[in-house]
Chain A
Amino acid sequence: LLPSQKQIRPISFSLEDNLTFVKQLLGPSSDLITGQIEITEGQFRIGLVYVSGLADKDVTQHILDGLKNRSCELEKVSLRKNVLKFICNLILTTVEHKESNRMEQVITALLAGDTALFVEGADIALLIGTAKFEKRGIEKPDSETTIWGSKEGFIEDLATNITLLRRWLPTPDLRFESFVLGTISRTEVRLAWIEGIANPKLIEEARKRIQRIDIDFVSGSGLIAELIEDKSTSIWPQVHLTEQPAQVAANLADGRFAVLCNMVPFVVIAPVLFWQNLQTADDYSGKALQGTFYRLLRHAAFYLSLMATPLYVALVSYNQSIIPPILAMRIASGREGVPFPSVVETVFLSFIVDLLREAGVRLPRATGGAVTFLGAVVIGQAAVTAGFVSPAVIIVVSISAIANFAIPAQELAGATRIGNYFLIVLAATLGVYGVTIGMIWLLCGVVSLRSFGIPIFYPVAPGELYGLKDIFIRAPAWRLHKRPSLLAPSNLTRMGKSTVEPKPKNSPDRGSH
């Protein structure tokens, strides 16, 4: 326990004691403001405490003015506890406030931006909601882009994020449950779900897992995700992090839950299915056929990103018979003079591509793209000219990298890169046999995973025919009239019958005249 956590105690009747205790506990902090007002010529005193950078100065000034202006009326109040009631009813009519008799609650509230009001002779403090921080405006999310969808993104302020969600889901069934995680960070966390749609057992499990977290510092929603997911050692994503309120709202409406974390613009969505990582909000904004085409493209991108380079290594090193003779000769002539085996070339170039990508992410946006592009072109060209690598490897590694960029979910894109290296090693050792064994191994890892009890490969394995309408293809919206049965077993229907039949039967163009 930290020294501050050992000194929990109730609020004293003495104002001096309380103020001294707060000062001692918070140390010689220049931003801790304490003040006293004397009523009835010093007969009783009122103390105010707040942290200057966290509390709204206008509100604290309003409280001080109110106390001064109404001091005559205050003099008439005989009991100390009635003073607090008087202040609540007449001065803090429009300001959020609550009472507390515990000092640790007062300290927590002060550090959250509230103002504490003590009255001499009363063992209760008034905690006044004066928190006001600087925050950035609602902007377009950097990590996720959408063409036809909403452009709003979450920000670092929890209250704003909750408001964004409420605007998407103005239903009384939307629930937010509060948690405070981190003994030092005291991070506010909210579990969100829609009552009546989400499976109560799922919510209970999520609640248990969040309550189980005992940690000193919460660095972000990614950490919470790792601490609550089923198998954190697996490379495959079991939860999804998003910056888009629209995506969170859609997932809540499907029966999932979300975990919002203060100070972080990313929201955790769970349970997540593997296929969700290859879907975007735009799939549902455009035409079904268009959505299907782009979804299939993303599926192809996933397999290419995972398998293009290992298959190249396997075919060049072991299974040359499948390569047409002319192509084989081209590859062979390109490799002429290259001192390394194809596996070394492939691993080296894949590593350089990953390095460039990482550099592009960390550099400022204005220069990042240029550095990545220049790096790729210059290093690629120079490597071929110098005879370090063959042109074929450049092509294959580039295809793999571009395909990786086409995977919408960063979690899956990252996992694919790791899987890619694993398969390259197997391909170099055992050719196509190694790639096949590696793929089965990775697949075994995915199919055995569960996200909060839901198999992440559902509805492919375990199979559900209805669910497949929205996996490899995107069926017309009116055909997707049911929610996934494993997510919302008690509330499957999401469309009325009138929506399910898109064309009226007695339409004039059917020849009623």
Chain B
Amino acid sequence: MNNKIISKIQVFFIMAIVCSGTSINTFSEIFKLAGRASAIANMTSLLLLIPLALWALRLAQFAPGHTILEILEMTAGKFFSKVACGLYTLISFAVMTLTARHIGFLLQASSLPNTPLYVTSFVLLTLSTFIARGGIEVLGRLCEVLYILTNVIFWLGTFGASLGINFDFLFPVFDRGVTNIAAAAYLQAGSVSEGILLLLIMVAALARPADSYNKAVSMGILLVVVNFASASMLIIGVYGVEVASHFLIPEIQVSIDVQQGNFVQGLEMFVQVASICTVTLGVAAHTYAASVATAKIFNNRYPMVWLAMTFASVAFLVNWIPSFNEVVLYSTLLGRYVTLPFIIIILFITSTGLLFRGRKLKEKSP
């Protein structure tokens, strides 16, 4: 594994892919909370996400070539850093498990009803580990190539549904209270913040993070959120909030219902392909990040061993979750109570440490 410098465009696409992670599992929960204003809630989450991302980049500027967890070690000491690395790894495992489980259920629902889940998850995790082994550089290039393709395929599969939009389902937009919309926005921010979780590690591969990559990171997050907002509008427009909030995999449902004449049908395959690409790259990114964090606990020794351990742990955990309802529940809990608070705490401790020990750090850094 390596820490080569990656370009702005690669960072943009990595963020756009990785931020999609478990958000697909929390779709229905956001519909329940924000109702017709789900798209608004999605967009509102940017108010939390972009400042957090910029905060992480700003901190990384103090010690270029180092992860935020390494900067935490410089400012708050080894103990805090090792605890943070351990928690980071656990959260990454959870994210990987939930996204891999999502794709497993999606495949069972759409095309592989008889294939055991351990087969699909094993294949996915093997490929993700293979990609992660190539480091952030290979991941960046893959995201660069696949993101646009994935988006085109996804919208090819679902765009036809826009013909069936009933505007009565969309307007009036605000049918829930502000608290509900805020809660939905917070949940969405929590789900999308998986991208920022990766950013805490990825900053080590950015040259002058805050000066050069602010725009790329912000635009990547913006693109994901706009995509989710558009998809929310489409799903609610077609089915209405009440029905949409009961779908477990709404994007598949939308594409299944697209049918034009005797020729255009079965477009769920496109959504399936798009989801596989997104999830594979997302899991690969978190595999990379988790193995870097684990290696950090053991002073960066045996990185390949930690990569293999990550693979084995997630492969075990994926088969441990019995139902899709639990995937949705855990994803909601993760988004609401774990990922975002963890990121905020890490950034806060690092910043506080910098305030107190900043001068010393400046002297140490090259």
Contact = CB atoms under 8 A, between A and B. Distances in A.
Given A322-B266, A432-B273, A444 B138 contact: yes
Interface in B101-125: 107, 111-112, 115, 119-120, 123-124
A284 interface: no
A440 interface: yes
A460 B263 CA distance: 34
A422 interface: no
Given A444-B138, A447-B138, A431 B277 contact: no
Contacts of A28: none
Q: In the complex, which of the residues B111, B119, B142, B146 has the most CB atoms of chain A within 10 Å of its own CB atom?
A: B111
Contact of B141 (A318, A321, A430, A457): A457
A447 B144 CA distance: 10
B267 A325 contact: no
A437 interface: yes
A323 interface: yes
A317 to B, nearest CB: 10
B144 A461 contact: yes
A461 B141 contact: yes
B272 A443 contact: no
Contacts, number: 95
Contacts of B119: 430
Interface string A421-462: 000000000111110110011011001100000010100111
B263 A462 contact: no
Nearest to B270: A322
Interface in B128-149: 130-131, 134, 138, 140-142, 144-146
Contact of A436 (B9, B10, B267, B276): B276
Nearest to B268: A321
Contacts of A318: 111-112
A14 interface: no
Contacts of A324: 262-263, 265
Interface residues of B, number: 34
Chain B interface SS verdict (over half): helix
Contact of A325 (B10, B120, B262, B269): B262
Contacts of A457: 141, 145
Interface in B64-96: none
A214 B89 CA distance: 47
Contacts of A443: 142, 145-146
Given A437-B276, A444-B131, A326 B262 contact: yes
A150 interface: no
A463 interface: yes
Nearest to A315: B269
Given A321-B111, A432-B273, 8 more contacts: A320-B266, A321-B266, A434-B123, A440-B131, A444-B131, A444-B138, A447-B141, A461-B141
25 contacts: A319-B111, A321-B111, A321-B266, A430-B112, A432-B273, A433-B107, A433-B111, A433-B123, A433-B272, A434-B123, A436-B272, A437-B276, A440-B142, A443-B142, A443-B146, A444-B127, A444-B142, A447-B142, A448-B134, A448-B141, A455-B141, A461-B10, A461-B142, A462-B140, A462-B141
